[in-house]
Structure 1
Amino acid sequence: MNSGGEQGGSSVSDEEWERFLRESEEGVRDAPQEPSARARMVTRRLQEEDPQDGNGRGWRTYSPARPRRRTGWYVAGILAALAVVLWVLAPDRVTHLFGAGGVGSAPDATPLGAETAPPTGPPPSTGTLRGTRAEPFRGSPAARWADGAAGISVPAPRATAWMDEAQVAKALDRSRDFLVASSLDREVLRGARPSEAIAYINPKQPREQEFIETSLRSPSEKYDPLVLFSRFDPDRTSLVGDVVKVRGRLSYEEGPGPQHALRVTTDVTYVYPVVAAAGDPDEVTRVIVRRQVVMDWQNPEKVVTKAGTFSVHSNMIHTTNAGCRTHNGFLTPTFDGPGASDGPTADPYDRSAPVVSPERDGECGTATRS
């Protein structure tokens, strides 16, 4: 049988005919047989008739099939290659993208810039993933916040009130140092006395000094040290890792009245990942504290004060998962899930809202996320 279409006036090519004669003479066993006269006559008659069918193709011609374009395979191959590169460069992003939340659910992990002005709204949702020991801020907007003191934005100094620019710069630095000593110091967080932080407060302010000493010695609803200091009971709560996520800012202005103090307002949110000291070591929860402390840096020529210290003008605190109606001087988280509450809901990460205590009128608020 021919392996291709017939192109001449014979059903057997000249090459095959010569091979037939040669191999016949040599007695080859499987030599091709000479076509019969009948076969040659039929072939010639078919060629003399209409050589094409109704579609314009020859009766005996061979039309090879057109190769199909495999565009889909090429695109799939390119996408697969890109996925491999992405996995090598950023495996955590790929895990979030195709993992627990599904495609499109990966939270933005880009670090946030410093907060230099009040935000206009709450941060976007980041899903419902719970924190782990390896990733204590997973599923929290705080994952994008700075670590520790780096999250406290300090404005540029300028001459204000009774201070020149250099004095304002020093007052702002010491204001931030107080926040670090009162809310980020590891020993203070473990329940130690906040001696360094207290040293920044004007010792000539008797009412404030009495409040501090009473709150640390005999905490109560009226005397609560948490309005100034972050502390955990080490027998009940252990911190996870060495990182506290922080976001906030300082601002300043000339204070009212004849004293012309430099008034510094601090508004900072702290996120503490913790576990129970005697419980499930893998059940990580987060305690969120937003604290606003207003400080007056007064002119020692006009007010009895100690140089390098400030007087507390006011303070406010909002806490989440810190123990509602629990006035024992410590942040007291719940580890077995959020309990029922009859109070209003609030987003602890919404820094655009004013600082309001969750225990207004004896009600405990409910956090919309942690």
Structure 2
Amino acid sequence: MGKGGESIPDEEWERFLREAEAGTKGAPEEPSARARMVGRRLREETGRPEPWRSHQPARRQGGKGWYAVGLLVAVALLVVALDPGRVAGWFGGGGGENAPLAVESKRPDQPPPTEAAAQHPTLEQPFRGSPAAQWGDGTAGIGLPEARATGWMSKGQVAQALEKTRDFLAASSLDPGVLRGERPRKAIALINPHQQDVQDYLATAFRAPGRENDPLLLFSRFENTKVRLVGEVVKTRGRITYREGKRGAVEVTTDVTYVYPAVRAAAGSDEVARTIVRREVVMSWDDPAKVVVEPGTFSLVSYKVDTTNGGCDAFTGYLTPEFGAERAASRPGDGPEVDPYDRSTSMETRMREAGDAGCGTATRS
């Protein structure tokens, strides 16, 4: 499966798939949305991936918003929009004035520091006044762990799975075409096509986005007729971890914060607003002897998403940053205050603290 690793011959992959389709005894079973609804009995069986969606999301509070929460058991959306009146301060420097931070290798124990004086972003320095000024560019800001033999994979196979995981993050959240609103074909191609309920979600999300089928849960997209990104750099900070999962699979968790600077699409626009998206995606690189999966693809286990200044209860399928005029016309949210740059809190904790709150307040952008 790549340089330095072991590979499973194409003939073996084809045999697994043929036996699965023919119902051969002992063949790997294909993931089934209906089967995954069985619950405990299903979990006691072997040969099927863990459920990625088990319940419908809790009802979000209505109204014009700032910070909306939608929760599945392991699938959540948290949206935060900026309230400039709550700005607590700004991290010093901008552009290339500060030395870049080392790649994140573990969860920090505190949020990034702030300073009293506000330094606003500009077209020349879109990350000015933000901790992201010291973050990595694109995938350079995403920590990749050392590979080791895990589950059914050799060290070389794990290394390739980790690289493909980072490829998915790039294709879903950094690809210039996808950011302009194009369909994320490269990212979708990495998702196990035999996870039928996931495929149904993906088809619906791009055809008719809504509360339950929002493409922004997995992908970053802007409507290019309304906004455009500033420059070619997206700042990132985060890390990838892995462990042995069910049935010997290699379960990979990604926790990454992306910072997107944008201006209005109209010619001559120069007001820069930042949209900040933090995603935790858990994926399973399954053993093809136990689960029907195409070579080089993963099964989606769960995701959690936290978005600042990307729209609240606006299920258009696009991130919709607000600029000064829109923010001035919006009312403050009734949810908790959140620092979107604070990575010292896990996504699980953040979802739990937010609970069923409506739209809340970001302390900085």
TM > 0.5 fold call: yes
Counterpart in the other structure of 1:160:
150
State the Cα distance separating 1:260 from its structure 2 match.
1.6
CA distance in 1, matches of 2:110, 2:298: 32
Counterpart in the other structure of 2:253:
265
CA distance in 2, matches of 1:347, 1:129: 17
Bigger drift between 349-358 and 124-133 goes to: 349-358
CA distance in 2, matches of 1:155, 1:284: 34
- Mapped pair 1:121 → 2:110: yes
CA distance in 1, matches of 2:295, 2:123: 43
CA distance in 2, matches of 1:106, 1:319: 24
State the Cα distance separating 1:362 from its structure 2 match.
5.2
- Mapped pair 1:246 → 2:236: yes
Counterpart in the other structure of 1:276:
264
SS in 1 for 2:248: coil
Counterpart in the other structure of 2:205:
215
Counterpart in the other structure of 2:335:
343
Within 5 Å, which residues of 2 pair with 1:290-305?
Answer: 290-305=278-293
CA distance in 2, matches of 1:302, 1:125: 50
SS in 1 for 2:307: strand
Amino acid at match of 2:264: A
Contact 1:324 1:359 in 2 (8 A): no
CA distance in 2, matches of 1:271, 1:365: 19
CA distance in 1, matches of 2:355, 2:193: 31
Contact 2:263 2:269 in 1 (8 A): yes
CA distance in 2, matches of 1:238, 1:308: 33
State the Cα distance separating 1:151 from its structure 2 match.
0.6
CA distance in 2, matches of 1:265, 1:189: 23
Amino acid at match of 1:366: T
CA distance in 2, matches of 1:327, 1:128: 32
- Mapped pair 1:324 → 2:312: yes
Amino acid at match of 1:165: K
Within 5 Å, which residues of 2 pair with 1:70-219?
Answer: 109-126=98-115, 127-219=117-209
State the Cα distance separating 1:129 from its structure 2 match.
1.1
Contact 1:325 1:359 in 2 (8 A): no
- Mapped pair 1:363 → 2:358: yes
Amino acid at match of 2:196: P
State the Cα distance separating 1:304 from its structure 2 match.
0.7
Amino acid at match of 2:288: P
CA distance in 2, matches of 1:241, 1:146: 15
Amino acid at match of 2:275: V
CA distance in 2, matches of 1:349, 1:144: 12
Contact 2:93 2:129 in 1 (8 A): no
User: RMSD of the alignment, in Å?
Assistant: 1.9
Which structure 2 residue ranges, 5 or more long, are not aligned?
1-88
State the Cα distance separating 1:361 from its structure 2 match.
2.3
CA distance in 1, matches of 2:218, 2:207: 15
* Among candidates 292, 303, 306, match of residue 294 of structure 2: 306
Amino acid at match of 2:130: S
Counterpart in the other structure of 1:228:
218
State the Cα distance separating 1:278 from its structure 2 match.
2.7
Alpha-carbon displacement from aligned partner over 1:255-310 (angstroms, at most 9, x marks no partner)? 13xx1210000000000000011376110010000001000000001101111100
CA distance in 1, matches of 2:200, 2:118: 43
Highest RCO, 1 vs 2 (Cα 8 Å, sep ≥ 6): 2
Of all paired residues, the percent bearing the same amino acid is: 54
Contact 2:234 2:258 in 1 (8 A): yes
Contact 1:202 1:311 in 2 (8 A): yes
The structure with the greater share of residues assigned to strand is 2
SS in 1 for 2:324: coil
Alpha-carbon displacement from aligned partner over 1:329-348 (angstroms, at most 9, x marks no partner)? 10011012643211110000
Alpha-carbon displacement from aligned partner over 1:216-249 (angstroms, at most 9, x marks no partner)? 1110011111111000011111110001001110
CA distance in 2, matches of 1:119, 1:362: 26
TM-score normalised by length of structure 1: 0.69
CA distance in 2, matches of 1:136, 1:321: 15
State the Cα distance separating 1:359 from its structure 2 match.
7.5
- Number of positions where the alignment pairs a residue of Structure 1 with one of Structure 2: 266
Which structure 1 residue ranges, 5 or more long, are not aligned?
1-100
CA distance in 2, matches of 1:360, 1:160: 35
